[in-house]
Structure 1
Amino acid sequence: MPDLLAFFSEALSVHSLQILIMPFDYDFMRRAFLVVAIVCMPMALLSCYIVLKGWSLMGDAIAHAVLPGIVVAYLLAIPLSIGAFGAGLCCAMSTGFIKDNSKLREDTIMGIVFSGMFAVGIILFHKAETDLHLTHLLLGDVLGITDAGVIETSIIALTVLLVILVRGRDLMLLIFDPQQAQVTGISVRYWGYGLQILLALTIVAALQAVGMILSIALLIAPGACALLVTKRFSQMLWIAMAVALGCSLLGVYTSFFIDSAPAATIVLYMACVFCGLFSYKICTGNRLAESGRNTASPLASSAGLKTG
């Protein structure tokens, strides 16, 4: 009897292990894991800069604005990434130009520019006869990415990552102290546009992985989660990368078993991490405040002070 139980236990463990590693038996899943791992790194790093600079809406604007560029690139038979980058760059530059030559707030300008460009993209998409799937453009199709797509996405993502690693100090100074950056010889306007270009490139790299709509989550959530945990920028970068990489790989892995969209599953994991960290911060903050009041009450009473 013990031998029989041991046999069934071993068989069950082997079967469970085979189920757990099943996603790695398929080429399309291995490509998906590779792509999201490569794409999430520059997006996580850039997320910290965007969150601190308050450019979340800029990322949303560029993500929506790439649609007309994609359609035009398809009609011209050129790589879609070129059209997407051109449209994203046009959105960023237009926003900066209007801001410099008007008294409108930047968020107002971005709302007008990206909604206008997205509307143009929708009209072009429906008027032009294309084989493009709007759902894949909006939500991504990481499971259908080809080897050529993996190479193209990797080149763009690694280029952005290299620029951030090499010129990260200039970008950090631009965000925290623009006046000091100007004094040290860093062109604030030049690097402001440079940050927008990096943002556009990152969104282009993420198009096939998570699409236009959900890419904004990868550009905001990792930095927002990290900011809940630490105020040190160096630690913030590492935490953001850990959150992005963990949620991305886990999202693709989970989507295989529950038959869901990988991009949506990734974003759902990030939302859960953010909610968990926020709840933890609220709870620990309340406990610390309560502890502080309890400690201060005897001292205040002895000194004749009011604590209410």
Structure 2
Amino acid sequence: MSAGSSTSSMPGDRDVTIYEVGPRDGLQNEKGIVPVAAKAEFITRLVAAGLPIVEATSFVHPKWVPQLADAAELIELLGPDGRKHPVLVPNERGLDRALELGCEHLAIFGSATETFARKNLNSSLDEQFAMFEPTVARARAAGMDVRAYISMCFGDPWEGAVPVDQVVAVGKRLFDLGASQLSLGDTIGVGTTGQVGALLDAFNAAGLPDDVLAVHFHDTYGQALANAYAAWQHGIRTFDASAGGLGGCPYAESATGNLATEDLVWMFRGLGVETGVDLDALVATSTWMAGVLGKPSVSRVVTALAGSA
């Protein structure tokens, strides 16, 4: 599966699809600006390691996420393949930039809670749909594939536990705008395996089957890998992950890194589940990026395998 394939389809030679978010979600919270050439090499190495989908960047205003101010330069630096990598857009202005560069796949990022919508999107819970509707409509009219993220699916640092029916209502509205896939995010990493099953059951009951859903776990409480396993047992086959466990959330200080791609690949290898990922190449890539960032990887598998090399 090429990096430009629809995120809602599954290739025959993979049992699961890993949606790599390291270059965007992973790097966006880094305080030191990573050189654009290093970002391009990171993406190129991830693709070479067999990651079928690598989200490259976000066309958000540089004021809010300075790390991604070089989004257009990065896409151009990646050459013809640059436009095939998914990009996150916050609104129509972001879409305009993506269209100018010929991007083929984009993602929108909604909130399941009122407080996070106001802090992250500068809109109310209901107003976010009015913002996303023309963005998605224009993108679809231009032939772009659209993925919808929903954040704070299990808990919110300001509001606490988020009711399942609220998450489902918001998620379904986002998906129904015209997305091909809905990614369910545990933005602050508080979810547990029982909650994962309950939320997925609720989405299924609302008409969204497992094959249009993806999961996006953070590891704040050390539950990300267990939650991914629970989602896989339920029937989910697309998993967001970040090489080396990079990441956090600039608008939620309690959020720590994403589920490490290497840890996910190691788990699936043990289950006999094909990911199509060359784990050695991926570990080497995360070890290299750790050197660029000047800090060790938080991935347990990277630490184990790099240390034994």
The TM-score with structure 1 as length reference comes to 0.26
Q: Higher helix fraction: Structure 1 or Structure 2?
A: 1
Larger radius of gyration: 1
Give the TM-score, by structure 2 length.
0.26
Identify which of structures 1 and 2 has the higher relative contact order when contacts are C-alpha pairs closer than 8 Å and 6+ apart.
Answer: 1
Select the structure that is richer in strand. 2
